[in-house]
Structure 1
Amino acid sequence: MSPNPSTLRLPAVLLVLALQACAGDAKPLPEPPQEEVSPVLAVPAGMGHYCSMLWPEQGWAFAWGPTTNSAPCEQLRAQAAGGDVARAGLYSAQGRNNVISRCADGTVGLWSGLGASPLQSAHADATNHQRKSCVFTVAPDALPIFDAPFSLMTRVFHATGFDFAQDVPLDVADFGQTGSTTAHIVDHLGRDQSNANFVNNHDGHDWGMVTGTPILAVANGTVLLARDREVPCASPIQKEVYVQHDVGSDEYLERFVSYYAHFKSYVVTAGQVVRKGQVLGYAGSTGCSSGPHLHLAVARLTNTASEYRRDYSIPGTDHPPMTSNIEIYGWAAPSGFDPWAWRNHPSGALSIHLWNDGQAPVNPNF
């Protein structure tokens, strides 16, 4: 089995500082007041619903509404029976959205703009060119549902981030940056990180911190698994936690899983409902790690590059494949479209900025 992709590559000086800081565990944070917790998150203000459907004989339809009371799938079914939902979820009625269209003739359309304008443009293009079996995947630039996974007063350093290349070499000039025409590591600003302190195919973020730092749930959710996993590394047991987060409901639900690795210890169990800010465990260096840190990755399980809803099965001896893990800081290059969302088809998904205002941990390497 290959090494876990969450292996941390720390600069030598920072690693020494981190290890020196670990003489004692950090003081645990006080738990937030106890209250009844719902595992389903409220939809942030300003969101609407969209629906992309397919019919036999290459028929398709694409509709949307500006509020969460909108029911575009129901409206489309009322117009023509026998259709299947290909994608459905949330978009921003006023903010920026990204849209990918894929049709039977192999055409891929990439659209970005405010409110419904990119949805309208994608629909008009497919209609005007009489394309068949078109599927439209939409994501807002921002869906603010997460708080930081540690106190923002915590002294941390950012070591590695999400790699958008994922084995598909990219020309960073496409993203308004300078660097390699075949970059094998690209960050969310479209910059070539091939020779920087990043890890190829890295699927999340690593923050170095003092051993024992409390690690917090980024949002209300349900613990899917908390486990000790055997790994082929110097520290053979890796402690990790998976939490599922649902936003919205019914056909328009958006689902994410947050994955936290390298705990010194965890204090939650599978099936437990946790609230935002609740302590999941304490930072350590277990498993494939060269120093105490948190590895946080987020999988998007709805409206991925190739699926409406993706099953999430956690293997017994590995962590799930990163086919739809996304960048939680969103795609923010000066130009160009999120390559992970379409260049890597059928893998990939549109990345979304998931942090609540003021809750995004600062990343000096970014």
Structure 2
Amino acid sequence: MRQQEAPDDAANPNIAVPPGMGHYCSMLWRGDRWALEWEPSSKSDPCGRLRDQQAEGRVAHAGLYSTHGLNNVVMRCRNGVDYWRGVGAGPLKSAVDEALASQRRGCVFTVAPDALPLFDSPFSASTRIQGHFPGGFDFAQGDVTVDVNGFDQPGLANAHIVESHGIDMSNTVAVNDHDGHDWTVPTGTPVLSVADGVVLLARDRKVPCESPIQKEVYIQHIVGSGEYEERFVTYYAHVDSYSVVAGQRVKKGQVIGLSGETGCAGGPHLHLAVTRLTNTASEYRRAYSIPSTDHPPMTSNIEPYGWEAPRGFDPWGWMNYPSGALSIDLWNPGQAPAR
């Protein structure tokens, strides 16, 4: 099977930007000069405004930020990395002020709203979730270890499994480098697309497990348009069957298959993972291919519940560079499945 590329933009039904979002643009020019502009409207064009000033600049990152809610900002310059968390444009302004005061060069700014309400539950309201495997998404992936005491949590100074509340899961049954969430539901439970999108792939994949065929579905979701799009891919694994094909448009809440325990599964459950394809730790827009015999690397998978620790900053959003991405709470109100 050849690699599957994301469909052309014209084939993707873009999701409307939720209310309360504005656009930001981080640009670079020759000589390590930089700029960060933002405007409190999802119809604005800060990149265009910057181009009017100096045409040779290139977009380093551009996307959405919350005009009145919490935002997370990572500033990566030639001589260091800093991060801020705050309300509205506050952390963006703080980043610019610090870069100017410290005469930073070659700065790229990555911004993510704390919440971007897009997803509904992958299960109907009548579905009884029987359990959730501990841990969920691991914020200490790869060779990076994290000191959870900085999040007001007890535990190791070199934790290698950290969940979304900043809790050290290193000495539990949680899976190291886990990329998503596992909910125990009976085989045959309808699995729903969490948002409007386009199916990248629905396939039977051979795996070296007791159940040698794993059934899985990948769906791409695009929010907004043009240079300010935010792109995500949802991955649904271990399904017993799927009812969609590559290239098919799907609507939020549409049944895409039935849950099961195909492939490398210890029992009937749904594995759901989310990949961020725009404004990752190191890339403006990430190319995404699905290998024929494996799932894509977890380079920019994120936690769809967002970073929820009592204190501290999302470690996966900056520590694992060039891997990593800022996580975002993507659930619509009342739609996040219980953990």
TM-score, normalising length: structure 2: 0.95
Query: What's the secondary structure of 2:100's corresponding residue?
Result: helix
Which residue matches 2:8? none
Which residue matches 1:316? 292
The 8 Å contact of residues 12 and 198 in structure 2, kept in 1 or not, is answered as no
Which residue matches 1:62? 36
Which residue matches 1:28? none
Which residue matches 1:176? 152
Distance 1:152 1:116 in 2: 36
Query: What's the secondary structure of 2:59's corresponding residue?
Result: strand
**AA of the residue aligned to 2:279:** N
Alignment of 1:140-151 (within 5 A): 140-151=113-124
Query: What's the secondary structure of 2:169's corresponding residue?
Result: coil
- 1:153 maps to which of 126, 146, 158: 126
Query: What's the secondary structure of 1:57's corresponding residue?
Result: helix
Q: Report the Cα offset of residue 196 of structure 1.
A: 2.1
Q: Report the Cα offset of residue 38 of structure 1.
A: 7.3
The share of aligned pairs that are identical, in percent, is 66
Aligned-residue CA RMSD (Å): 1.0
How many residue pairs are counted as aligned between the two chains? 326
- 1:101 maps to which of 67, 70, 75: 75
The 8 Å contact of residues 63 and 229 in structure 2, kept in 1 or not, is answered as yes
Query: What's the secondary structure of 1:51's corresponding residue?
Result: strand
- 1:115 maps to which of 81, 88, 97: 88
Alignment of 1:135-214 (within 5 A): 135-156=108-129, 157-160=131-134, 161-167=136-142, 168-214=144-190
Distance 2:125 2:310 in 1: 27
Q: Report the Cα offset of residue 350 of structure 1.
A: 0.2
- CA shift digits 1:133-176 (9 cap, x unpaired): 10000000000000000113312111140011113111110111
**AA of the residue aligned to 1:92:** S
Query: What's the secondary structure of 1:41's corresponding residue?
Result: coil
> Which sits farther off after the overlay, 160-169 or 65-74?
160-169
Distance 2:173 2:89 in 1: 39
- 1:76 maps to which of 22, 44, 50: 50
**AA of the residue aligned to 2:52:** A
State which structure, 1 or 2, has the greater radius of gyration over its C-alpha atoms: 1
The 8 Å contact of residues 54 and 60 in structure 1, kept in 2 or not, is answered as yes
Distance 1:111 1:199 in 2: 30
Structure 1 residue 294 corresponds to structure 2 residue 267: no
The 8 Å contact of residues 60 and 133 in structure 1, kept in 2 or not, is answered as yes
- CA shift digits 1:223-273 (9 cap, x unpaired): 000000011111110000000000000000000000000010000000000
Alignment of 1:211-226 (within 5 A): 211-226=187-202
TM-score, normalising length: structure 1: 0.88
Query: What's the secondary structure of 1:77's corresponding residue?
Result: helix
Which residue matches 1:89? 63
Query: What's the secondary structure of 2:110's corresponding residue?
Result: strand
**AA of the residue aligned to 2:303:** E
Which residue matches 1:278? 254
Structure 1 residue 134 corresponds to structure 2 residue 107: yes
Distance 2:235 2:185 in 1: 17
The 8 Å contact of residues 110 and 281 in structure 2, kept in 1 or not, is answered as yes
**AA of the residue aligned to 2:23:** H
Q: Report the Cα offset of residue 39 of structure 1.
A: 2.2
Which residue matches 1:43? 17
Which residue matches 2:219? 243
Query: What's the secondary structure of 1:228's corresponding residue?
Result: strand
**AA of the residue aligned to 1:275:** K
**AA of the residue aligned to 1:317:** T
Distance 1:224 1:349 in 2: 21
> Which sits farther off after the overlay, 250-259 or 145-154?
145-154
The 8 Å contact of residues 242 and 256 in structure 2, kept in 1 or not, is answered as yes
Runs of 4+ with >4 A deviation: none
Query: What's the secondary structure of 1:126's corresponding residue?
Result: helix
Distance 1:182 1:53 in 2: 35
Note the residue ranges of structure 2 that are not aligned, 5 or more in a row.
1-10
Query: What's the secondary structure of 1:136's corresponding residue?
Result: strand
